[in-house]
Amino acid sequence: MKAGGHVALERSLLIRGATIVTVNDEQEVIEEGELLIEKGLITSVGRACDPPVGWRATKATRIIEARGKVVLPGLVNAHNHAAMSLFRGYADDLPLMQWLHEKIWPAESKMVEEDVYWGTALSVLEMVRGGTTTFADMYLFMDQVARVVKKVGTRAVLARGVTAGGTDPKLEETRRLVETWHKGAGGRIRAAVGPHAPYTCTPEFLQQVAGLAKELGVPAHIHVAETREEVQQIKERYGATPVQYLERSGLFDAPRVTAVHCVHLTGEDVKILADRRVGVVSCPGSNLKLAAGIAPLAKMVKAAIPIGLGTDGPASAGALDMWEQMRLAANLQKALTGEADAISAAQALEMATRGGARALGLDGQIGAIIPGLSADVIIVNAERAHFYPPHDVLSSLVYAGHPADVETVIVAGQPVMEERMLLNLDEREVLARSAERARELIKRAEESRGEDQAGSEVVPPVD
């Protein structure tokens, strides 16, 4: 095992012999390709036989031989509450409101910083193993999330979840998060403002949030139109759909808005999202598991809305598996529309990479294998039964790919996992510590539930 990728930085790296899935504008796939990485950026991608043959190798201080493998952009998990891994499997198969009120919120109210650190570490470990190089996270104690990201070497967009009411620390933590971490960890961390959802934010608060986003030059990340109940509630309260409500409140004036879920939209909502260049993140697996529904992705694609995919938090998602999100994004639309070509494999792969980058405001930085972009790439072993026969690499990846197929993960030119060995994280320690934190946290929550049975304290929802 190599000692700390961040200690011995790779200056330049050539990956050669692989099939390269570029996700560029032409969805180009290069057989027997070569990918040259210099100072963290992709500087050249092409056929190994480009004349003069072998020129890229002369520029590389290290060469990875990848014949029989597939190289593609690192996956972008564009919505998560990573530390909620501590609650995974703790209370499944319960109705949403019972799950939140009786299980999740009481436990969250007892969380301390170390819980968030180890819960996030567990999720990041799993995400890296499955090929996720960038994730967006909305939660609390975000300094701890940033610490994990810095240590592991992945990329992240971090938002402190905030609501208008209750005991919420409002926007001070957001300002501090931006000041401390935005563009930190070698540029791998971005901060965002995180107004929780239309039903937890008043119009005044949303205006305030939009103002702060503009002032700080960061995007806003918000849950929108996740459930029918939410749509109903916002209609009753404001006489508008959740999307209309956000527009009227001025939130869409933020430099970039990432609207998560968007399961229940009107035609007018789709038009607003397109006109205001809002990025949408769909979490199809979570939307099924929490009985929310199926988002109209095919319609949004037609309206040219940038669409990314996310797992949502591990307590609602189960595994943090972006491969399954790709499959669900494509296949649920086929069932929803009755058209087997509603969303293609190429479109689903784009959502999980470049689309996610766009939705998070990272366009032009990550998401494709194009010279000039950051070298966030993964290497997949395609010599496996489920990828055979090799008729069509895009179909294979989207319809048959699994997290365990990912062998090597590179972020900003630096290996984070090699041949399934995590380079910057002690896996055993993370498993043991996260299990211990989960056990103790739930013990604290269940003990105290007896005490403040009346639910005296409203816990801010951040998930």
Site residues for a copy of itself, 91-110, by CB under 8 A, read 92-96, 99
| Spatial contact of 225 and 231, defined as CB atoms under 8 Å apart | yes
With contacts defined by CB under 8 A, how many residues of the chain interact with a copy of itself?
72
Q: For residue 311, give the nearest of 106, 463, 171, 151 by alpha carbon.
A: 463
| Spatial contact of 405 and 393, defined as CB atoms under 8 Å apart | no
The nearest distance, CB 418 to a copy of itself, in angstroms, is: 17
Sign of the CA dihedral 253, 258, 260, 266?
positive
342 belongs to the binding site for a copy of itself (CB under 8 A): yes
- 282: which residues sit within 8 A by CB, 6+ positions away? 261, 262, 295, 297, 307, 308, 309, 310, 329, 351
* Strand 69-73 versus strand 75-80 pairing type: unpaired
Q: Give CA–CA dist 7/250, Å, rounded.
A: 45
Site residues for a copy of itself, 438-457, by CB under 8 A, read 438-439, 442
Sign of the CA dihedral 31, 21, 420, 181?
positive
404 belongs to the binding site for a copy of itself (CB under 8 A): yes
The nearest distance, CB 89 to a copy of itself, in angstroms, is: 4
426 belongs to the binding site for a copy of itself (CB under 8 A): no
Given the rule CB under 8 A, which of 132-140, 232-240, 321-329, 450-458 is the region that contacts a copy of itself?
A: 321-329
Q: Give CA–CA dist 261/83, Å, rounded.
A: 19
370 belongs to the binding site for a copy of itself (CB under 8 A): no
| Spatial contact of 345 and 398, defined as CB atoms under 8 Å apart | yes
Q: Given candidates 183, 388, 426, 457, which one binds a copy of itself under the rule CB under 8 A?
A: 388
DSSP 3-state of 190:
strand
Q: Give CA–CA dist 297/89, Å, rounded.
A: 28
Q: How far apart are the first and last CA of the chain?
A: 37
Site residues for a copy of itself, 27-66, by CB under 8 A, read none
What single-letter amino acid sits at 362?
L
Q: Which is nearer to a copy of itself, 181 or 323 (CB)?
A: 323
Q: Given candidates 30, 142, 332, 412, which one binds a copy of itself under the rule CB under 8 A?
A: 332
The nearest distance, CB 38 to a copy of itself, in angstroms, is: 32
341 belongs to the binding site for a copy of itself (CB under 8 A): yes
Contacts with a copy of itself, 211-230, as mask; x by CB under 8 A: -----------------x--
Q: Which is nearer to a copy of itself, 300 or 345 (CB)?
A: 345
Q: Give CA–CA dist 140/333, Å, rounded.
A: 33
Q: Given candidates 324, 350, 376, 463, which one binds a copy of itself under the rule CB under 8 A?
A: 324
Q: Which is nearer to a copy of itself, 305 or 343 (CB)?
A: 343
What are the CA-CA distances from residue 424 to residues 161, 319, 406 (Å)?
Answer: 28, 22, 17
What are the CA-CA distances from residue 154 to residues 1, 151, 208, 365, 411 (Å)?
Answer: 19, 8, 31, 14, 6
Q: Which is nearer to a copy of itself, 57 or 335 (CB)?
A: 335
The nearest distance, CB 314 to a copy of itself, in angstroms, is: 8
Q: Given candidates 56, 110, 223, 327, which one binds a copy of itself under the rule CB under 8 A?
A: 327
389 belongs to the binding site for a copy of itself (CB under 8 A): yes
Q: Given candidates 392, 419, 452, 457, which one binds a copy of itself under the rule CB under 8 A?
A: 392
Site residues for a copy of itself, 280-309, by CB under 8 A, read 285, 287-294
80 belongs to the binding site for a copy of itself (CB under 8 A): no
The nearest distance, CB 442 to a copy of itself, in angstroms, is: 8
DSSP 3-state of 346:
helix
**What order of strands is seen across the sheet that includes strand 279-282?**
75-80, 132-139, 155-162, 189-195, 220-224, 257-261, 279-282, 307-309
85 belongs to the binding site for a copy of itself (CB under 8 A): yes
Given the rule CB under 8 A, which of 30-38, 193-201, 242-250, 435-443 is the region that contacts a copy of itself?
A: 435-443
Site residues for a copy of itself, 110-149, by CB under 8 A, read 122-123, 125-126, 129
Site residues for a copy of itself, 164-203, by CB under 8 A, read none
Q: Given candidates 16, 56, 69, 88, which one binds a copy of itself under the rule CB under 8 A?
A: 88
Q: Given candidates 235, 334, 444, 449, which one binds a copy of itself under the rule CB under 8 A?
A: 334
Q: Which is nearer to a copy of itself, 14 or 263 (CB)?
A: 263
386 belongs to the binding site for a copy of itself (CB under 8 A): yes
Q: Give CA–CA dist 114/434, Å, rounded.
A: 9
Q: Give CA–CA dist 348/23, Å, rounded.
A: 11
